Chain A
């Protein structure tokens, strides 16, 4: 028996939890956050690592070759280093959550073509996730289950990468047995101003949720991993945007409004899972109760290289024993 399994059994014997889940979300291409996510299994003694979507990065920085140097613009500042240090510069850019792409000056111009830029992004996202899956296989203890599901900011191409990774489980829109509870996962969200790839109307979202949750055996405790948080839960408060996608200011401050899903809220009320895990709205970290369900959004602080997460302890009867929001 592995030490991690022994930990779980020891906790259960003491009247503690039978299953410990570590949940994080929205790392958005941050290399350092993903590495911390893998380290969390050992540090928090988790039985299951769950990454709830939005793994893909948002920014791409060309590292441009010159005579004997390379340069890149990072946070608005031009950084130039000798060519011998190009790998380190790329690694630094990667740690900041951007994709460094080596190219010639004339190739940079081509990125003003949105199709070319889109192609490059997809290539880099897939390449990074493939590396991450390999890293997980290398670093995780055999007993630890690692589940990664997509979010609305993840291109559809990543589904195949996750499905092909032997060490990763990706039960998107499926039920997954975790022992005392069944996990249900959905990365789809309601429409956003950015028109990302996994957006659906409230009605479509409700249908997808029902199609999955109705398969759950009667009385079987569940944990849901829905990327989109429930509407007006305090876990979905985001800045209000105008037509140009600029934050609306009221009283000299950004105006905040609820942007979650009513379909998710109704599903929580109807199915009453033990725990509901959400992401999507980075600044809306918190925990709330809807009926008997504990709803958690650990938030995201990937730009500061900080992994925000939640430890959730599930008792042998499938009830929630305890939870703790973490900042690591």
Chain B
């Protein structure tokens, strides 16, 4: 100990005094934690969810779902705040469940998240592939290249989609073998690109009137009455216009998924300065920013493009793409970015709108590879997988074996998605994500009961109570109730969020039971080899 230093709180009598020791000042403040939260949300993916809501529900409208989704995460934010104060560690639900509920529940969450995230990598690559025609159209428009624009007509076959999906994963693979520091810099560049595209879209929408949009859409489609033709075609094919409360409630799970990531600074809980307070502010600011940005853009889209038009275009794109293609070449999947492309008059914004989604998918996949390989690391360290899985490259410091496994699996999933109908198998993906939120709620609900020692404040005889009930239990109960509400919506609208079939239910059960099963098998094998009993790995040690 060569030196000591009083912390920033040292001027208040009785504050914390620290000595200069390694690791102590590695603390993230509110701005850094806010950055982490916002970077964890793929902002342009909101158009995917807008499109999904518009096609899945008749008379869909986004104001209420956007606000309800925010409220659900707001309540969850308080639950995670208490969890983070009690267990200020990285690892999220895996750590919370294993510490508060049981190691088996934690293993269930850890392995299920690893498997589902690997699938999500493939789904993102597949989405980027299906978005390619829009990208080529936009780039063709920007560079006045008919070759690029024509190429858009040749990239929608199964072979092309499979090749592009694999190509996206290979790009992700190539970038992932750089050091984590370099990968983070690449992610930052891709996030900046998305943010600039979103800002440009907002400015374009604000700067143009509805009449401007109608004229611009006609010009883009080489058909002066294209706007009205879309609405008429939609009406003819049975699209109901307007807004309904039932549809708005039904869309809420889409918007819950939309905000997924906004609270993710708890994944770096061990790095936060005064974790509870920092996390709370960072999450609240991030949530507030997203509500303003998304609700604002939705309002601008309604004003400039019109709700009826958006409902007609999205539904025609899903149910009658031939009719839509005869009126306009604008992809319905692109949503707001497509409307931006229509209004854009300069090549720079066109390039931005064309490349924003592929950039977002590559950025998200790079982050998911890092997260999933971390989970594989943990499984290898717990001896559920061979230790070799955690091998790190000496030159690039990258977990080469784990990256290889994740990318091989996701490339296989990508090809499978194109050539086989796996929609039944992965139908309950939305339910799984709702169950993750439920896991956080249940952890908070049980925290004061299972681990009061982690909740009780120094010097206090008991945990904080409201009307005799521990405060964290009440917050956990509210989060659990809202998570259950989301799960119920997903289940009730199973035709939208994933049908219950033998394949989908068995797949979900297999994924959830994989952790405990792997644990039991590994334990049995180790016993036969006279190795250390695996049950010792998570055994609570008595301090007394």
Q: CB < 8 Å: which of B1, B17, B88 contacts A196?
A: B1
Chain A proximity of B465: nearest CB distance (Å): 17
Q: Which of A174-182, A215-223, A230-238 contacts B (4 or more CB under 8 A)?
A: A230-238
Q: CB < 8 Å: which of A238, A253, A303 contacts B184?
A: A253
**Alpha-carbon gap, A306 to B98, bound state (A):** 12
Contacting pair A98 B392 (CB below 8 A) = no
User: For the complex, is A153 an interface residue (Cβ under 8 Å from B)?
Assistant: yes
User: For the complex, is B397 an interface residue (Cβ under 8 Å from A)?
Assistant: yes
**Alpha-carbon gap, A155 to B454, bound state (A):** 30
Q: Which of A116-124, A140-148, A161-169, A202-210 contacts B (4 or more CB under 8 A)?
A: A116-124
Chain A residues with Cβ below 8 Å from B541 are 36, 39-40, 43, 307, 328
Residue of chain B at shortest CB distance from A117: B4
Residue of chain A at shortest CB distance from B275: A75
Chain A proximity of B536: nearest CB distance (Å): 6
The CB with the most chain B CB atoms within 10 A, among A105, A194, A195, A326, is that of: A194
Contacting pair B26 A241 (CB below 8 A) = yes
Q: Which of B36-44, B232-240, B501-509 contacts A (4 or more CB under 8 A)?
A: B36-44
User: For the complex, is A93 an interface residue (Cβ under 8 Å from B)?
Assistant: yes
**Alpha-carbon gap, A313 to B38, bound state (A):** 46
Contacting pair B397 A197 (CB below 8 A) = no
Contacting pair B3 A195 (CB below 8 A) = yes
Chain A residues with Cβ below 8 Å from B367 are 251
**Alpha-carbon gap, A89 to B459, bound state (A):** 4
User: For the complex, is A250 an interface residue (Cβ under 8 Å from B)?
Assistant: yes
Within 8 A of A (CB), among B1-52: 1-6, 9-28, 32, 35-36, 38-40
**Alpha-carbon gap, A233 to B387, bound state (A):** 13
Contacting pair B14 A72 (CB below 8 A) = yes
Q: CB < 8 Å: which of B4, B10, B363 contacts A118?
A: B4
**Alpha-carbon gap, A114 to B5, bound state (A):** 6
**Alpha-carbon gap, A63 to B17, bound state (A):** 12
Residue of chain A at shortest CB distance from B31: A249
Residues of B within 8 A of A (CB): 1-6, 9-28, 32, 35-36, 38-40, 85, 87-90, 98-99, 179-181, 183-188, 191, 268, 270-271, 274, 277, 363, 367, 377, 380-383, 387-388, 390-392, 394-395, 397, 399, 453-454, 457-460, 526, 529-532, 534, 536-544
Residue of chain A at shortest CB distance from B539: A328
A251/B188 contact (C-beta < 8 A), A71-B14, A114-B3, A323-B532 known: yes
Contacting pair B21 A77 (CB below 8 A) = no
**Alpha-carbon gap, A59 to B38, bound state (A):** 32
User: For the complex, is A317 an interface residue (Cβ under 8 Å from B)?
Assistant: no
Chain B residues with Cβ below 8 Å from A15 are 530
Chain A residues with Cβ below 8 Å from B381 are 285-287, 325
Chain A residues with Cβ below 8 Å from B187 are 250-253
A60/B32 contact (C-beta < 8 A), A153-B22, A195-B3, A288-B390 known: no
Chain A residues with Cβ below 8 Å from B394 are 232
Q: Please, how many residues of chain A have a CB less than 8 angstroms from a CB on the other chain?
A: 103
Chain B proximity of A202: nearest CB distance (Å): 16
A79/B459 contact (C-beta < 8 A), A73-B12, A286-B381, A324-B532 known: yes
Q: CB < 8 Å: which of A28, A62, A85, A283 contacts B270?
A: A283
Contacting pair B32 A153 (CB below 8 A) = no
Q: Which of A1-9, A255-263, A270-278 contacts B (4 or more CB under 8 A)?
A: A255-263
Contacting pair B1 A239 (CB below 8 A) = no
A79/B460 contact (C-beta < 8 A), A35-B544, A254-B271 known: yes
Chain B proximity of A196: nearest CB distance (Å): 6
**Alpha-carbon gap, A246 to B543, bound state (A):** 34
A247/B271 contact (C-beta < 8 A), A194-B24, A195-B3, A328-B541 known: yes
Within 8 A of B (CB), among A296-328: 301, 303-307, 311, 313, 321-328
Contacting pair A89 B392 (CB below 8 A) = no
User: For the complex, is A137 an interface residue (Cβ under 8 Å from B)?
Assistant: no
Q: CB < 8 Å: which of B90, B99, B458 contacts A79?
A: B458
Chain B residues with Cβ below 8 Å from A289 are 387-388, 391
Contacting pair A324 B534 (CB below 8 A) = yes
Contacting pair A251 B383 (CB below 8 A) = no
Contacting pair B13 A117 (CB below 8 A) = no
Chain A residues with Cβ below 8 Å from B538 are 326-328
Contacting pair B458 A252 (CB below 8 A) = no
Chain B proximity of A310: nearest CB distance (Å): 10
Chain B proximity of A311: nearest CB distance (Å): 5
Chain B residues with Cβ below 8 Å from A105 are 13
Contacting pair A111 B459 (CB below 8 A) = no
Residue of chain A at shortest CB distance from B270: A283
**Alpha-carbon gap, A44 to B207, bound state (A):** 70
Chain B residues with Cβ below 8 Å from A197 are 1-2
User: For the complex, is A78 an interface residue (Cβ under 8 Å from B)?
Assistant: yes
A255/B14 contact (C-beta < 8 A), A304-B88, A324-B536 known: no
Q: CB < 8 Å: which of A78, A232, A238, A280 contacts B392?
A: A232
Contacting pair B183 A251 (CB below 8 A) = yes
Chain A residues with Cβ below 8 Å from B532 are 311, 313, 322-324
**Alpha-carbon gap, A152 to B11, bound state (A):** 28
Q: Which A-B residue pairs are the 10 nearest by beta carbons?
A: A252-B39, A234-B392, A251-B187, A328-B541, A250-B184, A251-B184, A92-B458, A251-B188, A36-B541, A35-B543
Chain B residues with Cβ below 8 Å from A68 are none
**Alpha-carbon gap, A303 to B543, bound state (A):** 15
Contacting pair A325 B459 (CB below 8 A) = no
User: For the complex, is A112 an interface residue (Cβ under 8 Å from B)?
Assistant: yes
Q: CB < 8 Å: which of B40, B89, B392, B534 contacts A233?
A: B392
User: For the complex, is A108 an interface residue (Cβ under 8 Å from B)?
Assistant: yes
User: For the complex, is A159 an interface residue (Cβ under 8 Å from B)?
Assistant: no
